[in-house]
Structure 1
Amino acid sequence: MHEARQRLEHARNSRTAQLRALDESGQSADDHLMSVQAEAIQRVLLEIDAAFARIEDGSYGTCLDCAKPVPEERLEILPYTRHCVTCQRRAAA
Protein backbone atom coordinates (compact mmCIF):
# COMPACT_ATOMS: atom_id res chain seq x y z
CA MET A 1 0.00 0.00 0.00
CA HIS A 2 2.96 2.31 0.46
CA GLU A 3 3.51 2.44 -3.32
CA ALA A 4 -0.18 3.10 -3.91
CA ARG A 5 -0.08 6.01 -1.48
CA GLN A 6 2.99 7.40 -3.24
CA ARG A 7 1.33 7.15 -6.66
CA LEU A 8 -1.80 8.84 -5.32
CA GLU A 9 0.24 11.61 -3.67
CA HIS A 10 2.07 12.17 -6.94
CA ALA A 11 -1.23 12.31 -8.85
CA ARG A 12 -2.68 14.74 -6.28
CA ASN A 13 0.39 16.99 -6.42
CA SER A 14 0.35 17.00 -10.23
CA ARG A 15 -3.34 17.90 -10.41
CA THR A 16 -2.95 20.59 -7.75
CA ALA A 17 -0.07 22.10 -9.75
CA GLN A 18 -2.23 22.02 -12.89
CA LEU A 19 -5.02 23.89 -11.09
CA ARG A 20 -2.53 26.45 -9.80
CA ALA A 21 -1.15 26.93 -13.33
CA LEU A 22 -4.67 27.50 -14.67
CA ASP A 23 -5.31 30.08 -11.95
CA GLU A 24 -2.03 31.83 -12.70
CA SER A 25 -2.48 31.80 -16.47
CA GLY A 26 -4.24 35.15 -16.38
CA GLN A 27 -7.10 33.87 -18.50
CA SER A 28 -10.58 34.96 -17.64
CA ALA A 29 -12.47 32.69 -15.28
CA ASP A 30 -15.25 32.84 -17.88
CA ASP A 31 -13.02 31.13 -20.47
CA HIS A 32 -14.95 27.95 -21.33
CA LEU A 33 -11.90 25.77 -21.97
CA MET A 34 -10.26 26.84 -18.73
CA SER A 35 -13.46 26.14 -16.84
CA VAL A 36 -13.81 22.67 -18.36
CA GLN A 37 -10.17 21.86 -17.58
CA ALA A 38 -10.53 23.03 -13.97
CA GLU A 39 -13.70 20.94 -13.51
CA ALA A 40 -11.98 17.84 -14.91
CA ILE A 41 -9.03 18.32 -12.58
CA GLN A 42 -11.38 18.80 -9.61
CA ARG A 43 -13.15 15.52 -10.49
CA VAL A 44 -9.81 13.69 -10.55
CA LEU A 45 -8.89 15.19 -7.18
CA LEU A 46 -12.17 13.84 -5.76
CA GLU A 47 -11.34 10.42 -7.24
CA ILE A 48 -7.91 10.57 -5.61
CA ASP A 49 -9.48 11.39 -2.23
CA ALA A 50 -11.87 8.47 -2.67
CA ALA A 51 -8.91 6.18 -3.46
CA PHE A 52 -7.20 7.25 -0.22
CA ALA A 53 -10.43 6.37 1.62
CA ARG A 54 -10.44 2.93 -0.04
CA ILE A 55 -6.88 2.38 1.16
CA GLU A 56 -8.02 3.20 4.68
CA ASP A 57 -11.04 0.88 4.56
CA GLY A 58 -9.13 -1.94 2.89
CA SER A 59 -11.04 -1.96 -0.40
CA TYR A 60 -8.34 -0.31 -2.54
CA GLY A 61 -7.45 -2.39 -5.57
CA THR A 62 -10.80 -4.19 -5.66
CA CYS A 63 -13.25 -3.42 -8.47
CA LEU A 64 -16.36 -1.78 -7.05
CA ASP A 65 -18.58 -3.61 -9.55
CA CYS A 66 -17.32 -7.19 -9.80
CA ALA A 67 -15.25 -7.28 -6.56
CA LYS A 68 -12.30 -8.83 -8.41
CA PRO A 69 -8.78 -7.44 -7.94
CA VAL A 70 -7.86 -4.58 -10.24
CA PRO A 71 -4.61 -5.55 -12.00
CA GLU A 72 -1.51 -3.89 -10.56
CA GLU A 73 -0.58 -2.57 -14.00
CA ARG A 74 -3.87 -0.64 -14.17
CA LEU A 75 -3.34 0.77 -10.68
CA GLU A 76 0.15 1.91 -11.66
CA ILE A 77 -1.25 3.85 -14.61
CA LEU A 78 -4.46 5.06 -12.98
CA PRO A 79 -3.97 4.75 -9.21
CA TYR A 80 -7.38 6.21 -8.38
CA THR A 81 -9.39 3.87 -10.60
CA ARG A 82 -12.46 2.27 -9.05
CA HIS A 83 -12.99 -0.45 -11.65
CA CYS A 84 -11.24 -3.17 -13.59
CA VAL A 85 -11.03 -2.66 -17.37
CA THR A 86 -13.94 -5.00 -18.09
CA CYS A 87 -16.34 -3.22 -15.74
CA GLN A 88 -15.13 0.22 -16.87
CA ARG A 89 -15.86 -0.71 -20.49
CA ARG A 90 -19.32 -1.94 -19.52
CA ALA A 91 -20.05 1.31 -17.72
CA ALA A 92 -18.88 3.40 -20.68
CA ALA A 93 -21.00 1.50 -23.20
Structure 2
Amino acid sequence: MSLDTPQAETRRERLTAHEALQRLEHERTSRLTQLRAIEETRPDAEEQVMSTQKDTIRRVLAEVEAAVARVGNGNYGICRDCAKPIPVERLEILPYTPFCVPCQRKAV
Protein backbone atom coordinates (compact mmCIF):
# COMPACT_ATOMS: atom_id res chain seq x y z
CA MET A 1 0.00 0.00 0.00
CA SER A 2 1.34 3.44 -0.91
CA LEU A 3 1.84 5.87 1.94
CA ASP A 4 0.45 8.79 -0.07
CA THR A 5 -2.95 7.22 -0.72
CA PRO A 6 -5.83 7.44 1.75
CA GLN A 7 -6.03 4.58 4.20
CA ALA A 8 -8.48 1.73 3.87
CA GLU A 9 -11.62 2.22 5.92
CA THR A 10 -10.64 -0.69 8.18
CA ARG A 11 -7.45 1.07 9.35
CA ARG A 12 -7.38 3.56 12.18
CA GLU A 13 -6.64 7.09 11.09
CA ARG A 14 -4.52 8.04 14.09
CA LEU A 15 -2.31 6.44 16.68
CA THR A 16 -3.37 6.95 20.27
CA ALA A 17 -1.16 9.20 22.36
CA HIS A 18 -0.02 6.15 24.32
CA GLU A 19 0.95 4.28 21.12
CA ALA A 20 2.75 7.32 19.78
CA LEU A 21 4.69 7.82 23.00
CA GLN A 22 5.69 4.14 23.07
CA ARG A 23 7.03 4.33 19.52
CA LEU A 24 8.82 7.60 20.22
CA GLU A 25 10.38 6.24 23.41
CA HIS A 26 11.65 3.25 21.43
CA GLU A 27 13.18 5.62 18.85
CA ARG A 28 14.77 7.73 21.59
CA THR A 29 16.24 4.69 23.34
CA SER A 30 17.59 3.29 20.06
CA ARG A 31 19.27 6.56 19.12
CA LEU A 32 20.79 7.06 22.57
CA THR A 33 22.17 3.51 22.43
CA GLN A 34 23.66 4.19 19.00
CA LEU A 35 25.24 7.41 20.27
CA ARG A 36 26.79 5.64 23.26
CA ALA A 37 28.15 2.88 21.03
CA ILE A 38 29.76 5.44 18.72
CA GLU A 39 31.30 7.32 21.62
CA GLU A 40 32.74 4.07 23.01
CA THR A 41 34.41 3.00 19.75
CA ARG A 42 38.13 2.75 19.40
CA PRO A 43 39.99 6.03 19.06
CA ASP A 44 41.46 4.91 15.72
CA ALA A 45 37.99 4.79 14.11
CA GLU A 46 37.52 7.21 11.25
CA GLU A 47 36.81 10.57 12.91
CA GLN A 48 34.76 12.09 10.06
CA VAL A 49 32.42 9.10 9.79
CA MET A 50 31.88 9.03 13.52
CA SER A 51 31.17 12.74 13.63
CA THR A 52 28.64 12.46 10.81
CA GLN A 53 26.90 9.53 12.49
CA LYS A 54 26.70 11.40 15.79
CA ASP A 55 25.27 14.47 14.06
CA THR A 56 22.62 12.35 12.34
CA ILE A 57 21.65 10.60 15.57
CA ARG A 58 21.43 13.93 17.41
CA ARG A 59 19.21 15.33 14.63
CA VAL A 60 16.86 12.34 14.91
CA LEU A 61 16.80 12.69 18.71
CA ALA A 62 15.75 16.32 18.29
CA GLU A 63 12.98 15.20 15.91
CA VAL A 64 11.84 12.58 18.44
CA GLU A 65 11.73 15.22 21.20
CA ALA A 66 9.72 17.55 18.93
CA ALA A 67 7.27 14.70 18.23
CA VAL A 68 6.87 14.05 21.97
CA ALA A 69 6.01 17.75 22.35
CA ARG A 70 3.43 17.43 19.53
CA VAL A 71 1.82 14.50 21.40
CA GLY A 72 1.62 16.75 24.45
CA ASN A 73 0.02 19.66 22.64
CA GLY A 74 -2.34 17.54 20.51
CA ASN A 75 -0.66 18.15 17.15
CA TYR A 76 0.92 14.70 16.77
CA GLY A 77 -0.03 12.98 13.52
CA ILE A 78 -1.00 16.23 11.80
CA CYS A 79 1.18 17.34 8.88
CA ARG A 80 3.08 20.51 9.74
CA ASP A 81 2.73 21.75 6.15
CA CYS A 82 -0.79 20.91 4.95
CA ALA A 83 -2.43 20.28 8.37
CA LYS A 84 -3.96 16.99 7.17
CA PRO A 85 -3.66 13.76 9.16
CA ILE A 86 -0.46 11.79 8.52
CA PRO A 87 -1.40 8.20 7.57
CA VAL A 88 -0.99 5.85 10.52
CA GLU A 89 1.13 3.54 8.33
CA ARG A 90 3.68 6.33 7.91
CA LEU A 91 3.70 7.02 11.65
CA GLU A 92 4.23 3.32 12.34
CA ILE A 93 7.34 3.41 10.14
CA LEU A 94 8.63 6.87 11.10
CA PRO A 95 6.88 7.87 14.34
CA TYR A 96 8.61 11.24 14.64
CA THR A 97 7.84 12.57 11.16
CA PRO A 98 6.13 15.98 11.08
CA PHE A 99 5.08 15.64 7.40
CA CYS A 100 2.83 13.50 5.24
CA VAL A 101 4.57 11.91 2.22
CA PRO A 102 3.45 14.51 -0.39
CA CYS A 103 4.61 17.41 1.80
CA GLN A 104 7.88 15.63 2.62
CA ARG A 105 8.52 15.21 -1.12
CA LYS A 106 7.94 18.95 -1.66
CA ALA A 107 10.40 19.77 1.13
CA VAL A 108 13.22 17.72 -0.42
Shorter-chain-normalised TM-score: which range? over 0.9
Which structure is larger by alpha-carbon Rg, 1 or 2? 2
Give the TM-score, by structure 2 length: 0.82
1:55 deviates by 0.4
1:27 deviates by 3.0
Q: CA RMSD in A?
A: 1.3
Structure 1, unmatched stretches of 5+, are: none
Of 26-35 and 49-58, deviating more is 26-35
Distance 1:28 1:59 in 2: 44
- Selected match of 1:59 from 72, 75, 81: 75
Give the TM-score, by structure 1 length: 0.95
1:71–1:84 contact (8 Å) kept in structure 2: yes
Aligned residues: 92
Q: Match for residue 6 of structure 1?
A: 22
Q: Match for residue 22 of structure 1?
A: 38
Moved >2 Å (runs of 4+):
27-30
Q: Match for residue 6 of structure 2?
A: none
1:29 deviates by 8.3
- The amino acid that maps onto 1:10 is H
Name the % identity. Answer: 59
